[in-house]
Homo-oligomer: A and B are copies of this chain.
Amino acid sequence: MREVAVIGAGITKFGERWDTSFRDLCTEAGIAAIGDSNVTGEEIDELFVGSMSAGRFIGQEHVGALVSDYVGLGGELHVPATRVEAACASGGLAFRQAVASVASGMSDIVIAAGVEKMTDVGDATDVLAGAADREWESFAGATFPGLYAMIACDYMHKYGLTREQLAKVSVKNHHNGSMNRYAQFQNEITVSTVMNSSLVASPLRLFDCSPVSDGAAAVVVCPLEIAKKYTDTPIKVIASAQAGDTIALHDRPDFSTLGATVAAGNKAFAQAHLERKDIDFVEVHDCFTIAELCAIEDLGFVKKGEAGKFTEEGDTYIGGKLPVNTSGGLKACGHPVGATGIKQIWEVVQQLRGEAGKRQVEGAEIGMTQNVGGTGATVVSHILRRD
């Protein structure tokens, strides 16, 4: 297999983008990534788009072809475009397919994009429930806040996590988001903001939940051996790992351990020939505050049951032992579901290039991502390194 590098990245402002359509968001991010990578349209061999539910959000399937067309690749250039979907992990899988395409030698220059336009429908919660087992979870009334609340209850019961520790995940992510001009929320909050916000699904409150968002992100990958032709700072992809699990939460042996995160994380570290201590920072899937705690444990950074204390002590802040979600995470940066996995890669690229501004992790050389679909039926993890 060939080695693969990221040579460009682009993103839109995340948020309630009433002024902007699905296709405009894609075009904005795609053009930014193409510009950043110094490639021309004629050089692009293939395009992968991650989108969870464009069919239900905007009545549009076939979004690979749509995006390709609107960034100018679909017509005379006839560039192949493929949408990949695994609920909220769709973006991470689009990146993985792009890496596979280059690694295999099938393509040289490939775009991986992610997009979602969620604010155009009334009931985003029901659309999102399509990521769970529709017949045995959603039809019975389970929503995503409800499912993650069950994970949180199980975790609190087993490990004595406090409500305040959970709130601190959100406080830290809002702090990081305040330094990211693309973030949906750029305001600081306090523990009491979280504790006094509306109860959504006990014990989760409004400020434990990532928002409904519009947004897109895109990156360009190519074989490492030609990356220097396009950029002085190629970012090497040193691991690309994916794992699955049962679609329904109730079929798992342990609610508060995501088996697919454990499996994908182990595969990623084996591929990269690295240990946990080698990772300088990590972007994980904090769709709800509890998910961030599970993620850093299941990836092996923190012992099971200790992520609450680790967070309380400030170890996940920039400058801490393991900076987590420097972008602001899903909570503050926003969570346009299909775009999130690509935004994680975008953030890692900003950090490894030393271009993350006020939220820069000093001397960052190796970054990792973890992107989750549903309650963990799909997990995809990447490790990237400054070349």
Contact = CB atoms under 8 A, between A and B. Distances in A.
Interface stretch (A75-83, A165-173, A301-309): A75-83
Given A60-B134, A100-B101, A244-B73, A85 B87 contact: no
Contacts of A47: 244
Given A82-B84, A104-B1, A373 B244 contact: no
A130 B51 CA distance: 14
A218 interface: no
A93 interface: yes
Given A69-B246, A243-B80, A244-B73, A85 B62 contact: yes
A62 B52 CA distance: 8
Given A75-B246, A78-B244, A130-B55, A374 B65 contact: yes
Contacts of A323: none
Contacts of A16: none
A245 B134 contact: no
B106 A86 contact: no
A78 B243 contact: yes
Contacts of A252: 75
Contact of A130 (B62, B81, B135, B374): B62
A9 B52 CA distance: 28
A74 B244 contact: yes
B245 A78 contact: yes
Given A74-B246, A100-B106, A61 B53 contact: yes
Interface string A101-120: 10111100000000000000
Nearest to A65: B377
Interface residues of A, number: 68
A131 interface: yes
A47 B93 CA distance: 13
Q: Report copies per complex.
A: 2
Given A75-B251, A83-B85, A134 B59 contact: yes
Contacts of A83: 84-86
A249 to B, nearest CB: 12
Contacts of A75: 245-246, 251-252
A205 B206 CA distance: 54
Contacts of A245: 65, 69, 74-75, 78
28 contacts: A1-B106, A55-B56, A58-B134, A59-B134, A61-B87, A61-B130, A61-B131, A62-B87, A62-B130, A64-B86, A64-B244, A65-B86, A65-B373, A69-B247, A75-B245, A75-B246, A75-B252, A78-B263, A80-B243, A80-B244, A81-B86, A81-B378, A82-B84, A82-B86, A82-B97, A83-B84, A84-B85, A100-B104
Given A80-B243, A82-B97, 9 more contacts: A55-B56, A62-B85, A62-B87, A65-B374, A69-B247, A74-B244, A74-B377, A78-B260, A100-B106
Interface of A: 1, 21, 23, 46-47, 52-53, 55-56, 58-66, 68-69, 73-76, 78-87, 93, 97, 100-101, 103-106, 127, 129-135, 138, 242-248, 251-252, 259-260, 263, 373-374, 377-378, 380
Minimum-distance CB pairs A-B, first 6: A104-B104, A65-B377, A80-B242, A61-B130, A62-B87, A78-B263
